């Protein structure tokens, strides 16, 4: 039987988060939504935690309205979101009543699947969401994050995937978000996971900053992965993820079947070139493997957005030349902390502590409170044992903390009484997504979402030409298109 490969589209979520700082407006999404719906994607990812905050705070848009508008235009395709375990979207663990309300509200706004992720891959942090997701009828995907470390062995990934399966997920995702999986590692890791989970649907996600994505995906397919995460070409490659049409071609070359509508994929690519052009966004080239970048990066694996923040912090202090020392120190801290997944909040723990260790001259002199709690287990079980001395230093002899402590205490009645009434559950969640001042700003500045038609390219060209100071413009393409504009 011919192997089938499916695509999960991340253009509207992970790709724009990686390349456009999550600043794509809904009015840029809606005109192409019907085409995306026809393109044959397995799933379209429409949000993660940062999507809500960014839409509200920077675009002054209601992210729930975006989901509903997308759903109206895309009745056929499954939607999913990325859920950051019990934190749901940010830094704080949310009690179970908030977790349930979040899932119910997602469902009501058109989302029917979610990927469940915890930076420590600790199932305890996800078990409640998983069972609630299943109760409500979501397709639940377990998501195991890969980093390059002595702790992230093939056996570890397989064991974690198996734990998810035992908890009743519908599909599994292996995600190389730092983009450091070499092809042979992708093959061995995904083969081990496949062996551990049996026939279950298996996804592979990777970022491509080091230029490893194409080969890693090829090997993942060889290791019997079913779904590859991709983006439209103008938001693909670079620090984002592989381009959809490139992956289709690659999978077919490897003898696999891909049921996408290739004409629709081409229209989607072309449309997003236009959006990128209008927004002044650069389309990254696809790079081959960049060994120098890889070697400088793999020690710390700090996300790109965070590195630019560190650079700024050092610059503000006149310490720009300390960056290599900070990154090297980050590599040390990562090991001492037991290799937590390098994403929020753990990438901040590592990055900020590295900055402080280097600029203060004494290691761990004034650790942030959250890091002390981490050492005591408040965020979950560490992926590897922490360095014993650092653990003692940070925990100050205080007892371990149960990460689930207090989560069964409802908080919604108190929030409604103290800060309500809210317009809706969606509104209440926006209040929880943001700090109070940002929530008030959002209500004050919220703008209606424009529903614009997708301009024909000729109309777009005419508009642009008319905005320029030309007395005569003439264009002909073959026998098919001819445009002549003259000013009287």
Residues of the shown chain interacting with other proteins in the complex, contacts defined by CB under 8 A? 23, 25, 57-60, 91, 263, 266-267, 270-271, 273-274, 277-280, 306, 309, 313, 316-317, 345, 348-349, 351-352, 355-356, 359-360, 365-371, 436, 438, 441, 456-458, 460-461, 463-465, 467-478, 480-481, 487
Q: Which of 222, 241, 252, 287 is nearest to 8 (CA)?
A: 241
Closest approach of other proteins to the CB of residue 35, in Å: 11
Residues present in the chain in total: 488
Nearer to other proteins (CB atom), residue 184 or residue 464: 464
Closest approach of other proteins to the CB of residue 245, in Å: 12
Q: How far apart are CA 84 and CA 118, in angstroms?
A: 6
Closest approach of other proteins to the CB of residue 77, in Å: 21
Closest approach of other proteins to the CB of residue 365, in Å: 7
Q: How far apart are CA 231 and CA 235, in angstroms?
A: 6
Q: How far apart are CA 205 and CA 459, in angstroms?
A: 37
Q: Which of 327, 303, 304 is nearest to 314 (CA)?
A: 327
CA quadruple 356, 340, 310, 369: dihedral positive or negative?
Answer: negative
Q: What are phi and psi of 372, to 5 degrees?
A: -60, -40
The strand ranges marked E within 170-215 are 171-176, 201-206
Closest approach of other proteins to the CB of residue 273, in Å: 5
CB of 117 closer than 8 Å to CB of 143: yes
Nearer to other proteins (CB atom), residue 188 or residue 359: 359
Closest approach of other proteins to the CB of residue 437, in Å: 8
Q: How far apart are CA 370 and CA 376, in angstroms?
A: 10
Nearer to other proteins (CB atom), residue 40 or residue 133: 40
Nearer to other proteins (CB atom), residue 198 or residue 444: 444
Nearer to other proteins (CB atom), residue 136 or residue 323: 323
DSSP string, 450-469: P------HHHHHHHHHHTS-
The encoded tokens of residue 287 equal 């790079």
Closest approach of other proteins to the CB of residue 467, in Å: 4
Nearer to other proteins (CB atom), residue 155 or residue 459: 459
Nearer to other proteins (CB atom), residue 105 or residue 313: 313
């Amino acid at each position: 039987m011919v192997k089938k490969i499916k695509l999960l589209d991340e253009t509207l979520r992970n790709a724009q988060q990686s390349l456009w700082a999550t600043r794509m407006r809904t009015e840029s999404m809606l005109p192409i939504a019907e085409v995306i719906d026809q393109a044959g994607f397995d799933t379209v990812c429409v949000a993660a935690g940062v999507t809500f905050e960014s839409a509200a705070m920077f675009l002054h848009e209601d992210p729930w309205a975006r989901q509903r508008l997308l759903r109206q235009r895309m009745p056929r395709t499954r939607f999913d979101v990325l859920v950051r375990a019990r934190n749901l979207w940010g830094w704080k663990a949310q009690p179970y009543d908030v977790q349930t309300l979040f899932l119910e509200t997602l469902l009501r706004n058109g989302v029917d699947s979610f990927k469940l992720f915890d930076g420590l891959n600790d199932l305890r942090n996800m078990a409640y969401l998983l069972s609630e997701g299943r109760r409500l009828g979501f397709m639940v995907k377990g998501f195991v994050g890969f980093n390059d470390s002595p702790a992230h062995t093939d056996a570890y990934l397989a064991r974690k995937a198996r734990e998810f399966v035992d908890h009743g997920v519908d599909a599994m995702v292996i995600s190389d978000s730092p983009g450091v999986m070499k092809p042979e590692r992708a093959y061995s890791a995904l083969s081990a996971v496949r062996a551990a989970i049996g026939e279950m649907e298996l996804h592979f996600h990777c970022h491509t900053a080091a230029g490893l994505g194409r080969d890693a995906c090829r090997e993942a397919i060889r290791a019997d992965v079913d779904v590859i995460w991709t983006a439209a070409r103008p938001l693909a490659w670079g620090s984002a993820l592989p381009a959809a049409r490139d992956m289709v071609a690659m999978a077919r070359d490897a003898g696999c079947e891909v049921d996408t509508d290739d004409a629709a994929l081409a229209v989607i690519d072309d449309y997003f070139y236009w959006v990128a052009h209008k927004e002044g966004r650069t389309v990254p080239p696809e790079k081959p493997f960049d060994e120098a970048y890889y070697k400088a990066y793999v020690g710390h694996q700090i996300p790109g957005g965070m590195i630019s923040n560190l650079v700024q912090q050092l610059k503000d202090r006149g310490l720009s030349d300390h960056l290599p020392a900070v990154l090297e120190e980050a590599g040390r801290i990562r090991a001492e902390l037991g290799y937590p997944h390098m994403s929020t909040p753990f990438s901040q723990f590592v990055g900020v502590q590295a900055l402080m260790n280097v600029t203060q001259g004494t290691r761990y002199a004034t650790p942030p409170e959250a890091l002390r709690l981490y050492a005591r287990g408040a965020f979950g079980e560490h992926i590897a044992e922490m360095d014993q001395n650092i653990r003692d230093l940070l925990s100050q002899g205080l007892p371990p903390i149960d990460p689930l402590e207090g989560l069964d205490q409802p908080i919604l009645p108190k929030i409604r009484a103290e800060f309500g009434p809210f317009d809706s559950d969606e509104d209440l969640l926006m209040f929880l997504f943001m700090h109070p001042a940002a929530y008030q700003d959002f209500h004050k500045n919220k703008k209606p979402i424009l529903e614009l038609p997708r301009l024909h390219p000729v109309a777009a060209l005419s508009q642009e030409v008319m905005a320029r100071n030309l007395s005569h413009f003439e264009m002909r393409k073959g026998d098919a298109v001819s445009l002549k504009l003259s000013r009287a």
